[in-house]
Structure 1
Amino acid sequence: MRNSAFRRLWLTSGASAVALSAYLLFEQWYVVRELGEPSALGAVMAATVASRLLLMSVGGVLVDRFRAARVAAWSATSRLALVLVMVGFLQAGWLTVTTVLVFGVLYGACDAFFSPAVTSLAPRLVPGQQLRAANAALHSTNQGGMIAGPLLGAAVLALSFTAALVAVAALLVVAAASVAWLQEPQHTRRAPGTRLLDEALTGLRHLRTVRGAWQNLLIIVAVNLVFMGPLLMGIPLLVAADPAATPADLGVLQGAYAAGMIAGAGVAALAGDRLWLVRALLPFLGACLVGVGLLPHLWQVGLMAAMGIASSVINVLIITHIQRATDPEIIGRVMAFVTIASSGTLPVSYAVLGALVGAGLPVAAVIVGAGALVLLLGAGFAVGAGLAGRRTPSPATTR
């Protein structure tokens, strides 16, 4: 924290995380409770993620072309403008499922430029030997925001939906102001005449040269398809299915997951480069998700925290491994593709979950089934890695 530029990055990242989690809580609760359309929640969340993914690689290119801090500031400012327009729509009574979906598309499109900007700034601002600690600090702060966001969102939702959106707008002001004047080291700009598509594909080609990157990205894709959808969308639906539930109940569960991620960031900072932990923790994630679908609320809180710890360790280890192997000149494009891999299957996951719930399948049963699939996938990845290790000759025996 002695690095003033990193402090600004830390503040903008945390403020944006609180704003995002509070916005998502508003979106979920408004669609499910105010509009009474739980089956539409999947489409709304999928639209938000899909627009973000479609522009993510473009965001990575812009980060490498221009100052990443400026791109992040523009992203936060544009999201601020959208939220203020949403306040006007809410007051006028125009905030329907359709308009919420449109705002979700626009919000996701603007946010597409923020993530590659922030993830590319850390390697530019801190020395390589401090990168894992810096990533852990940013990750724990983001997850602290994920605690504060649901708690703040639940508190202001008790006042009104308008108050919730105003709180999100205030946080985005902080995020934009913190990063707008951040001083970052100069890096080589793109060659004149380089096509946008060619620049974007540079990041994808680089990932092919990073040892273990494709295997870890495959794990991320599989887990997001069958784990993150039921976690991010299924938990709100599970809580809302209880007539006695309140926004605070949802906030406690989401906050427990975020608290676990903070603890997990600390574990990851001490874990070194033990990538085998990534595969070892996958079956554990699946078993915990099964428990969330079967056990009462108090047990769910503990299981959410445990899943947060495991998710954080997996995330920090994979991202740090890739960042260290990447040239700073293309870090924005590379991290954009990493984010696409981590979120690319979310729209499919949301859509499938929404269809299953719309067909009358109990949310708890869907969560249990998803957890069982994660457990099996994790066991398969662990066994596959073990077999590959046996087939690979050790350095001592290699001639």
Structure 2
Amino acid sequence: MIPTSEEAAWQTSIWKGKFIYLWGASIFSSLSISMYLTIEQWYVVHYLNLKNSLGIILMATTIPRVLFMMIGGIAADQYSRSKIICFSLLTRCFILLLMALFYTNHVLTLSALFIFALLFGASYAFFWSARDSIVPGMIPKEQLVRANSVIQTTNQLSVMLGPVLGAALLSLFSYSTIFLIIAFALLISILLLRFVQEKKELTPKKSSLLRDLAEGIHYVKGSSFLLTVMGTFIIVNLFFIGPLMVSIPIIAEDRFEGNPFNLSMLQSSFAGGMLLGAIIMGWLNMKKQRGKLVIALILIEGLLLTAFSQATNLWLAAVSLLMIGCCVSSINIPLVSVIQEKTPSTIVGRVMSINTMVSMGLIPVSYGLVSALLNLQISVQFILLCAGSIIVWFSFILFLKASDLKRA
């Protein structure tokens, strides 16, 4: 059968060329991050037995990522994005080597872990900005949804496998050996990135950090769509990410026997849902009604969060997380693709980083708020129930007021 023009574009534009190396590097990078976060959370909850401090460590990982996101976006608009990605991976590899050394010498305390989490988050900010801005230069605009779906699909497959591999490694090796294994995965990403070079190297222009920042902010302020998207992510991330991510290891410890494989099942279910959502979005390759779909999925996301808060059965909790993850990918991919389509390549790094920085800015606050509520002896189940109810309420506001988003 003769392939259609759309099928031919899919085969040639994405899978031939340097994109495949970026895709491979993203797999190992995502796998290493997933394993690291699983080990980090389990180290705090189970090894240090400081579950009420988990939100503080998650804040330490997130705050530098938010603060350095804008600088990463400016760098991505001026310098080689592949080299920035490589630098980020190499830095995190070095951090993991230090963590292995600290653990071996019995000095990987909560304070030390907090500092490493800060450094890890700062390094990851540069990776995120550069990776998101390099894709539009490799792929035609009509294929951006599918290209983003491919990256998200394979990344989420790695995220889904990461907790399982992390749990297996915990049963076989010490923490120091696990840190070395994760560092090796990052080295593979670095090797693959050696084949990723932009067609035209970006040359630094004579400008100031503040001027570049002002240019990006001015562009965003002129787009009512971008402002609506950012406002939506701010509210959703404040009441969704913190309660969900802090609750998963705590629920695994308190409600499901404190078994690392139960933790891996819950985290893998969430990642598996994100994988499923990415596959669906890549298959649909939606060009219309994306905004209305996003609002509907936010409503479903809130309802599922309330369901997860009441789950007393491991399989019911896993199914809830699977569906939540599916909603997350199905929300993120269309919105990121629309932003990439509408933004000039000379400023896409800053716009993507501003969007991510603003939308994620309240995530550390969310982690801290959840930790504070836990220290006040408020149950994580009640926190999830309230957070899900707020998201449901917010989705109705979007249906009534967010006309720019509904037209996307």
Same fold flag (TM > 0.5): yes
TM-score tier after normalising by the smaller chain length: over 0.9
In the superposition, the TM-score normalised over structure 1's length comes to: 0.93
Aligned equivalents of 1:333 and 1:3: distance in 2?
28
Q: Which residue of 2 aligns with 1:62?
A: 75
Q: Which residue of 2 aligns with 1:395?
A: none
- How many corresponding residue pairs? 389
Aligned equivalents of 2:176 and 2:230: distance in 1?
39
1:357 Cα offset (Å): 0.8
Question: 1:108-123 residue pairs with structure 2 within 5 A?
Answer: 108-123=121-136
Contact kept in structure 2, 1:60 and 1:200, CA below 8 Å: no
Q: Which residue, out of 323, 334, 338, partners 2:340? A: 323
Q: Which residue of 1 aligns with 2:292?
A: 276
Contact kept in structure 2, 1:282 and 1:379, CA below 8 Å: no
Aligned equivalents of 1:2 and 1:16: distance in 2?
19
Contact kept in structure 1, 2:26 and 2:189, CA below 8 Å: yes
Amino acid at match of 1:41: L
Q: Which residue of 2 aligns with 1:23?
A: 36
Aligned equivalents of 1:356 and 1:81: distance in 2?
35
Single out whichever of 332-341 and 95-104 deviates more from structure 2.
332-341
C-alpha offsets along residues 241-264 of structure 1, whole Å, 9 cap, x if unaligned? 237221111111111111111121
Contact kept in structure 1, 2:73 and 2:129, CA below 8 Å: yes
Q: Which residue, out of 13, 24, 30, partners 1:11? A: 24
Single out whichever of 165-174 and 196-205 deviates more from structure 2.
196-205
Q: Which residue of 2 aligns with 1:340?
A: 357
Single out whichever of 88-97 and 266-275 deviates more from structure 2.
266-275
What SS class does the counterpart of residue 275 from structure 1 fall into?
A: helix
Question: 1:144-223 residue pairs with structure 2 within 5 A?
Answer: 144-159=157-172, 160-186=174-200, 189-192=203-206, 194-223=207-236
Q: Which residue, out of 139, 158, 164, partners 1:126? A: 139
Amino acid at match of 2:185: L
C-alpha offsets along residues 57-113 of structure 1, whole Å, 9 cap, x if unaligned? 111111111100000000000100000010000000000000000000011111110
Structure 1 372/3 Cα, relative in aligned 2: closer, same or farther at 3 Å?
same
Q: Which residue of 1 aligns with 2:317?
A: 300
Q: Which residue of 1 aligns with 2:400?
A: 383
Amino acid at match of 2:318: V
Q: Which residue of 2 aligns with 1:73?
A: 86
Question: 1:355-370 residue pairs with structure 2 within 5 A?
Answer: 355-370=372-387
C-alpha offsets along residues 21-60 of structure 1, whole Å, 9 cap, x if unaligned? 1111111100111111111111111011111111111111
Percent sequence identity over matched residues? 30
- 2:97 paired with 1:89: no
1:187 Cα offset (Å): 5.8
Aligned equivalents of 1:259 and 1:108: distance in 2?
24
Amino acid at match of 2:182: V
Q: Which residue of 2 aligns with 1:396?
A: none
Alignment gaps of 5+ in structure 2: 1-13
Alignment gaps of 5+ in structure 1: 393-399
Q: Which residue, out of 13, 29, 51, partners 2:64? A: 51
1:167 Cα offset (Å): 2.2
Q: Which residue, out of 260, 277, 299, partners 1:264? A: 277
C-alpha offsets along residues 164-184 of structure 1, whole Å, 9 cap, x if unaligned? 212211111111111133121
1:126 Cα offset (Å): 0.8
C-alpha offsets along residues 337-384 of structure 1, whole Å, 9 cap, x if unaligned? 121123211100000000111111111121111111111111222222
Aligned equivalents of 1:170 and 1:45: distance in 2?
23
Single out whichever of 275-284 and 92-101 deviates more from structure 2.
275-284
Aligned equivalents of 1:197 and 1:312: distance in 2?
33
Contact kept in structure 2, 1:117 and 1:332, CA below 8 Å: yes
Amino acid at match of 1:323: Q
What SS class does the counterpart of residue 200 from structure 2 fall into?
A: coil
1:211 Cα offset (Å): 4.9
In the superposition, the TM-score normalised over structure 2's length comes to: 0.91
Aligned equivalents of 1:72 and 1:17: distance in 2?
13
Amino acid at match of 1:310: C
Aligned equivalents of 1:2 and 1:225: distance in 2?
37
Aligned equivalents of 2:319 and 2:125: distance in 1?
32
